[in-house]
Structure 1
Amino acid sequence: MSAAPGPNTHIYWFRNDLRVEDNPALIEACRQAQHLLLVYCHGNTATPAEPWHVPRCASHRQQFLAASLADLTQQLQSCGSQLLELQGDPVQLLPALAEAVGATTVHCEEVAAPEEQQQVAALRASGLHVSTVWQSTLLDPASLPFAPHDLPDVFTTFRQLVERAQVLPPAPLPRPAQLPALPPQFARLAETWPVPPAFRADPAVQLHALGRSSFPYYLPAFSGGASAAAGHLQRYFGTQLAHAYKLTRNGLSGTDYSTKFSPWLACGAMSARQAHAALKDFEAAHGASDSSYWIWFELLWRDYFRLLHLKYGVRLYRAQGLTSLPRPPHDARRFEAWCQAGTGEPLVDAAMAELRATGYLSNRLRQVVASYLIHDLHCDWRAGAAWFEAQLIDYDVYSNQGNWLYIAGRGTDPRNGRRFNIQKQVHDHDRDGAYRQLWKQPHEQVRQA
C-alpha cells in the first residue's frame, strides 16, 4: 500500500555531489519541496566489472567515500536534516522509497556517462519525474562559444576559444538558507530499509602505506568530505605552492608536488568552482604566474573530458572508442601481472604497488603505467580503466575514460595515442631511483587493497 501523498514531498538523490555548498541541484530541490528526503544509494561493490573480473570499488575508494558521507551527514545535521544511506540499486530503491513517502519527484545532478544515464532513464520509465541539473563542470555549457555537439575535437582549440571569448565560471553558491523538513516517515524508513554495513578499514593497509602515501587519506587533513576539502584549499593557497605548480606537477611522490584537489573533486566534496574561486583569491593577493595559470589549465582539461561525454556519450565506451581501429588485443595473464605489480619492469611495478597500497598515483605515473599496459603488454585499455576505477580514491568516470582513450589513441587526440619510453621516464623523473626504492618490495608482499 502506498503512503498518502505528503505535502509536496520530494527526494534528493546524492550522486557525485557530496556537499551542501555550491550545489545547484540541491538548491533547486529545496526551492520546490516542502518535505525533502535526502538519499545516497550504495551500489553492490562486490559485483566485478565484466569481463575483466576486477571489483567495481575496492577498499581505498570505499574508505574515502565512507569518510565523505560521514562529513556530509554532519553538514546536513547542522542544517536540521539527515542523510538516509541505503544499500542497493537506486533503480529499485528510489521508486519504492518514493511510494513509501508519497513522492513523485527525484532531484539529482546530471551525469553524462552511460550507466548513470541508464539509471535516470529507468527511474523515469518507472513513472518518477527526475529533475537533473548539470553542475560538475567549472564552466556552464550554455556560456561556451559553441554548442556541445560542436565541441572541438582538440583540447587546445577548445581552450583557445574559451579564453578568447573570456568565458568565466559563475561564483560558487552558498548553502541553502534552510533545508526542508524531513518526511514524517523518515524515522521508520531509517529503521527498516536496507542500510549499508558500517565500513571497517583494514588497519594493516593503513600501516603499510603510512609515511609513503602521496595522499594519506587516513589523516584528518586528507580525509574525505567537504570539511577537509575546504581546509585543504585554505592550506594549499595559504602557501606559495601554486606559484611552483607547473614546475612540480610531474613529481612522483609527496603531498605538495600537485594540488591534490582530485579526490574531493571526484566525489563532489569540493566543486570545481570552489577550487577556481580559491585560485582567483590567491592570484588577487599574490599575483598570477605561469604556474597558477596551469591550475586553471588543468581545470579546463577536467571540463573538456566532461563535455566530450555530452558530445559523444556511449561511443567513448566502445572498444574502438571514436576510431575505426580494430578491437584491441588482450592477454589476461599479462593484465593480472600488471595489476599485481609483477611485470618485471621496476618503475611500472613500483607505481602499481603504490596504487594498490594507497589508492593513489601521480598523474605522470598513471600515464606511464597505462602506456605500458596498452603498448608494451598489448592489453585492452578498458581493462586498465576498470582497474583504475576499482583502486583510485579520486576515480572520476569522465577523466578516467578520457585519459585512457587518450593514451590508447582511441579518443580525439590528433597524435593517435601516447607511448611512453620507460627509460626516458626513469631518466627524467626517477634518475636517483628514490621512487623505485620507496615502493620496491617482493611481489607477494604487495597488499591487496
Structure 2
Amino acid sequence: MALRITVIGTGYLGATHAAAMAELGFEVLGLDVVPEKIETLARGEVPMYEPGLEELLRKHVAGIEGSTGRLRFTTSWEEVGEFGDVHFVCVNTPQKHGEYACDMSYVDSAFASLAPQLRRPALVVGKSTVPVGSATRLAKLLTELAPAGEDVELAWNPEFLREGFAVQDTLHPDRIVVGVAGERGEKLLREVYATPVGEGSPFVVADYPTAELVKTAANSFLATKISFINAMAEVCEAADGDVVKLAEAIGHDDRIGKKFLRAGVGFGGGCLPKDIRAFMARAGELGADQALTFLREVDSINMRRRSHMVELAREAVGGDFLGRRVAVLGATFKPDSDDVRDSPALNVAGQIHLQGGQVTVHDPKGMANARRLFPTLAYADTALEACRGAHVVLHLTEWGEYRQLDPAVVGAVVAERHVIDGRNALDAARWRSADWTFRALGRPKA
C-alpha cells in the first residue's frame, strides 16, 4: 500500500512541500490552524509569490478541473492522524521578541496537537529549523503522548529551500539530510524521496543533533561569506579599490568559489539573520558560545552595510534628507520573491524616512507586504514613477527589470541624476555615460 503523507503547517515551506509530495505521486493532506489559509490553498491559490508554486498546486489540488486530486487541505488534527503514514512538520520558528533565541512555541504546539491523534505506527518528520537538541526532546514527547507509543518514530529532515527556487529545490534537491534513530525511519524516508535519490540527489543519514546542525551551519557559512565580501568592500572603499574585481579574482580559486561574493547592502529574509542569531544563543546554552563569537561580527558587518547605504544617500543629497526625495528600487530581501522580512532595502528606506527624507518605493512583487510593514512610506506602481522628482535613486534589490532601465529615460524624470547601486548589479559605464553620478558599495567613485 502506497504511503500517505501529511504536511503540518502550510506556509511557504509547507505549501511547497505538500505540492511537491503530490508531484512525486503521493496522496497528501495539508493541515493549518488558520482556516483562511486552507480556503485559499483549496482554491489552488498561494498566499505568497514563489515562481511555479501556484501552477504545481493547481495541478494536484482536489476539486480543480484537470487536477490529479492527490492534494487536499484540512484544519482537523483527527483527520490528519487517521490519514497519514508520514507526517511532515513544517511550522515556523521565528526569532523570540527581544532575544536571539528561536521561538519553539509553534513546533511544540504542533507536536502536542498531532501526537494524541497517532493511534497506529507512523513517522513524524521535522523540517523546521530548530535549536540542536530539540529532536531528542520531541521524540520523547511523541512516545509519551501518542496512543501508539513507541510505534511512532521521529526523524529530522532539514529544508534547504532558496526563495525563488523552492519548487526546484524540493523536487531536485542538491542533498537530502535525514536524522534518524532507527532503520525504519531511514527506510520510510528513502521511499518518500526515491525519485530525487534515483536522479542522483545525495541521501545523507545522520543522528538527530547532526541533522539539526546542518541547516544552521550551512546558513552560518553563507552569511559569513556574504559578510566577508562586504568587509572587503569597506576596505576597498577606504583604499579606492574595486570589490567587484576583487571578488572576481578570488572567485576563480576553486577553494573559494564565485557564489555569494557579490558585495552590497547585505543579507536579510526570514532565515539567515534569525538562524545565525539562534545558533549563537543555543551555543551559549550548551557552553560553546566562544565557538561562534565570529558570527557576532558577521551580523554586525551585515547591519553596518545598511547604515553605510544611508550615509551614501545622505551625502548624495547634500548632507540632509529634509525636503529631499529618495527613490528606492526594491522592497524584498531578494528578487523572485515577495518576502520583505528583515529586508535590507526596506530597512534603508525606513531609516531615511525617519531622518526626514521623502521616500518612494517600488518593487515588482513585494509592494503589498511592504505596505503592511511600512505603511508610512510612499509607493509607486512603476520604477519610473518611483524615480519621478527624486534627488537620488537607490538600487537595493537586484530585480532584472531594474538592470534594464534606460538611464536616459530615468534621467528625464528625476530632479538630480544621482544613483547608488546597493547590489553591484547595474552597468556603471552605461549610467555614467548618461550623465549620472554613479556610486556602488566597495567601488571607486569614478
TM-score (norm 2): 0.30
Q: Larger relative contact order (C-alpha < 8 A, sep ≥ 6)? A: 1
Structure (1/2) with the larger helix percentage: 1
Structure 1 or 2, whichever has the larger Rg, is 2
Structure (1/2) with the larger strand percentage: 2
